[in-house]
Amino acid sequence: MKRAGFTTRWLPILLLLPQLAVIIVFFYWPAAQAVQSSFYLEDPFGFGSTFVGLDNYTYLAQSAEYAKIARFTLVFTILVTFFSLGLALLLAVKADKVIRGAKSYRTLLMWVYAVAPPVAGFIGLLMFNQSWGPLTELAKSFGWDFALGVNSTDTAAAMVLVSVWKQVPVNFIFFLSGLQSIPKSVREAALIDCSSAMRRFWDVTFPLLAPTGFFLLIINITYALFDTFGIVDVLVKGEPGNNPLTLVYKVYVDGFRGNDMGGSSAQSVVLMVLVLALTVVQFRLVERRIHYT
């Protein structure tokens, strides 16, 4: 930061103050409290709490239910990330290729970006309605007796599909702008060098898109872990029952409904560590990204 900056003393402090105040009160304070209360067992009726050390964590580590939810979240995240990235990449490559209507396609494919996750879940409920949902009918025509909210595999499938549907547009926008920033000269050189479109894609376009892809990978993992909360909540109709749940949903259910502050906080801390690890990976990749461009 070798700026020719101003030297006024009080002004920058004044400028920073609102931002710092907000993040201290609503970021650092709650984050610290989550860490702290993960070491306590709180009375569900609010009569004080007792220090229990790592008990909440050991309980989590031994809980079969938590392990099951963690496993589901992992599978869910992989599926959502894979399909939404794959589909978006396919569409972006095609949209980049067509000359006529490229802009109209971009407009059409962008709509769903602005749909809120719970609204996406709401639309999912409509599509998978037990008696007449178009997708239920479609599944039936393939002999798949789809039962959302009853059969947990079916519920999981619906969650994945709705989450992918919601995430494709963001990935598409990023991939398309990544593709369009590939210099013309490189494309032309590739055209001369290899005649197969497939080879051109895998040997030239794909490596050039890799930085965008890495970035999106992290974005998508974060999306699947956290932002799908609304989708899950609406699709299971707020009834965890024996429906598949994600880790974030479990934090909410245990803490807000079950009043198990300690357990819920321990889960929050586990998630925090997970996100921090992801961020470290992201920074590593961003560093590497500089070599490409």
Residues from 194 through 213 that contact another protein (CB under 8 A):
195, 197
Closest to another protein by CB, 6 or 64 = 6
Residues from 236 through 275 that contact another protein (CB under 8 A):
237-238, 248, 251-252, 255-256, 261, 264-265, 268, 271-272, 275
Q: At what angle do helices 206-222 and 261-292 cross, to 10 degrees?
A: 170
Instruction: Work out how close the CB of 33 gets to another protein at its nearest, in angstroms, rounded to a whole number.
Output: 4
Helix (H) or strand (E) holding 246: none
Closest to 95 (Cα-Cα) out of 84, 104, 86: 104
Which residues lie closer than 8 Å to 253 by C-beta, 6 or more apart? 240, 245
Residues from 105 through 144 that contact another protein (CB under 8 A):
105-119, 121-123, 125-127, 129, 131-134, 137
Position among 49, 139, 226, 258 found at the interface with another protein (CB under 8 A): 226
**Which SS3 state, helix, strand or coil, does residue 41 take?**
strand
Helix (H) or strand (E) holding 12: helix 10-23
Instruction: Work out how close the CB of 273 gets to another protein at its nearest, in angstroms, rounded to a whole number.
Output: 10
- 42 bridge partner residues: 49
Residues from 33 through 62 that contact another protein (CB under 8 A):
33-34, 37
For residues 9-29, one letter each, b for 16 or more C-beta atoms within 10 angstroms of the residue's C-beta and e for the rest, the string is: eeeeeeeeeeeeeeeeeeeee
Residues from 79 through 98 that contact another protein (CB under 8 A):
87, 90-91, 94-98
Closest to another protein by CB, 8 or 64 = 8
- Residue 6 has phi, psi (to 5 degrees) of -80, 160
Instruction: Work out how close the CB of 73 gets to another protein at its nearest, in angstroms, rounded to a whole number.
Output: 13
Position among 74, 102, 147, 210 found at the interface with another protein (CB under 8 A): 102
Stretch near another protein under the rule CB under 8 A, chosen from 17-25, 56-64, 75-83, 152-160:
17-25
